[in-house]
């Protein structure tokens, strides 16, 4: 059972449920497990021609309690279609819609569906998935080496993970992007994607990214947005409030799949921390309904802290990530005095001890993730 399962089951009693998330992170498996263990029903995948006909012809019976529609967002009029199903058949059925792109983005015409659904974002495995029968140290090792997507994580082969990753990215670029966007130069887009894999941990200007593969900044910005909508990457901006000399225009790019990161252990660890923070923030938004934000902090004097975490407009954590360090980072202390977060956290891969004092916390990744996911997996 994935970490969102009990919340999804509860929401299905009230409204439709939409589940978005990266391709192959477990959305279909979660949906099928609901059909096998909790509900009678039917599963339809828009990618299958036979299922398309069944969907358009409403080929199900009143006895099928849960109707699951996978990749339905690839149909141009999907929102009007599902609205019609829900409005006319909600007394007989529960509706679950899943997709490997942002279902809140692909609103191709018609009613906005406002008030008819709850939206959940499913992420790959993290350190505290309830059903992973491995030690925390083993989970942590696999997350850094093969990533958190179920297939390579469970297989635990770096060679097979590379093959799986190549196949997955090719399919996303040449099938999903083709179905949802107008992109003429797919091969150049693939080159652009490969290029940004080495940028984790650095602030990057979109104009520079464009110049490296000889495309326009407008195209580069559009492609980055597509990567975000396909749940390949997420970007964070600099925090520019309360700081008179803040830098906020360059972005930082992180990957949902830590295995995509080209770089050393420091870059992979920073990406892993970023994915865990994002997973928690998405859960807070989807369950609690609070607005959340993640930023980096940097000023014109080159002082920088990796992450600033905001919930409901308040700064919860300032976070600096290190492989090794014997002292609290001076930049973390500097910005903590100015911004006054609830906590200033230094995460060190091999921290010899865990301690906290005056809202300063020194910890390792496992203990930080333990605290981060105290209310969710």
Q: What is the mean pLDDT of the chain?
A: 90
Residue-wise pLDDT tens digits, 309-322: 999 999 999 999 99
Q: Which DSSP letter does residue 79 get?
A: H
Residue-wise pLDDT tens digits, 240-278: 887 766 556 799 999 999 999 999 999 999 999 999 999
Residue-wise pLDDT tens digits, 182-232: 788 999 999 999 999 999 999 999 999 999 999 999 999 999 999 999 999
Q: Which CATH number fits domain 5-121: 3.30.565.10, 3.20.20.70, 3.40.50.300, 3.20.20.210?
A: 3.40.50.300
- Identify which of 9, 241, 272, 34 has the alpha carbon closest to the alpha carbon of residue 118: 9
What is the pLDDT averaged over residues 304-308?
Answer: 96
Exposure of 260 by Cβ count < 10 A (0-12 exposed, 13-18 middle, 19+ buried)?
buried
Residue 150's alpha-carbon distances to 99, 157, 366, in angstroms, are 17, 12, 20
List CB contacts of 77: < 8 A, sequence separation 6 or more. 108, 109, 110
pLDDT of residue 247: 58
Question: Which residue ranges make up each domain of the chain?
Answer: 5-121, 136-372
User: Whole-angstrom Cα distance, residue 164 to residue 143?
Assistant: 15
The pTM score is: 0.92
User: Whole-angstrom Cα distance, residue 321 to residue 310?
Assistant: 18
């Amino acid at each position: 059972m994935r970490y969102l399962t009990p919340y999804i089951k509860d929401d299905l009693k009230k409204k439709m449920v939409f589940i978005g998330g990266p391709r192959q992170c477990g959305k279909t498996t979660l949906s099928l497990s609901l059909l096998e263990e909790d509900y009678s029903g039917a599963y339809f995948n828009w990618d299958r021609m036979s299922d398309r006909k069944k969907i358009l012809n409403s080929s199900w019976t009143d006895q099928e309690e849960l109707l699951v529609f996978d990749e339905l967002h690839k149909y141009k009029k999907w929102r009007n279609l599902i609205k019609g199903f829900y409005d006319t058949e909600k007394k007989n059925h529960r509706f679950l819609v899943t997709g490997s792109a942002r279902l809140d983005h692909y609103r191709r015409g018609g009613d906005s569906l406002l008030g008819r659904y709850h939206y959940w974002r499913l992420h790959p495995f993290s350190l505290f998935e309830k059903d992973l029968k491995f030690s925390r140290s083993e989970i942590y090792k696999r997350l850094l080496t093969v990533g958190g997507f179920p297939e390579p994580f469970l297989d635990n082969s770096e060679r097979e993970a590379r093959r799986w990753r190549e196949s997955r990215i090719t399919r996303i670029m040449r099938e999903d992007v083709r179905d949802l966007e107008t992109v003429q130069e797919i091969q150049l887009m693939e080159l652009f994607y490969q290029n940004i894999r080495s940028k984790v941990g650095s602030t990057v200007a979109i104009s520079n990214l464009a110049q490296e593969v000889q495309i326009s900044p407008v195209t580069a910005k559009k492609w980055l947005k597509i990567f975000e909508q396909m749940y390949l990457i997420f970007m964070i901006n600099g925090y520019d409030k309360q700081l008179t000399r803040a830098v906020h225009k360059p972005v930082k790019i992180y990957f949902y799949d830590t295995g995509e990161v080209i770089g050393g252990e420091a870059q992979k660890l920073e990406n892993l921390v970023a994915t865990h923070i994002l997973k928690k923030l998405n859960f807070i938004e989807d369950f609690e309904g609070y607005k959340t934000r993640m930023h980096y902090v940097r000023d014109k004097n080159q002082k920088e802290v990796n992450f600033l975490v905001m919930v409901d407009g308040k700064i919860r954590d300032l976070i600096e990530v290190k492989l090794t360090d014997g002292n609290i980072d001076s930049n973390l202390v500097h910005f903590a005095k100015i911004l006054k977060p609830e906590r200033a956290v230094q995460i060190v891969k091999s921290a010899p001890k865990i301690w906290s004092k005056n809202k300063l916390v020194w910890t390792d990744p496992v203990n930080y993730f333990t605290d981060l996911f105290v209310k969710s997996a």
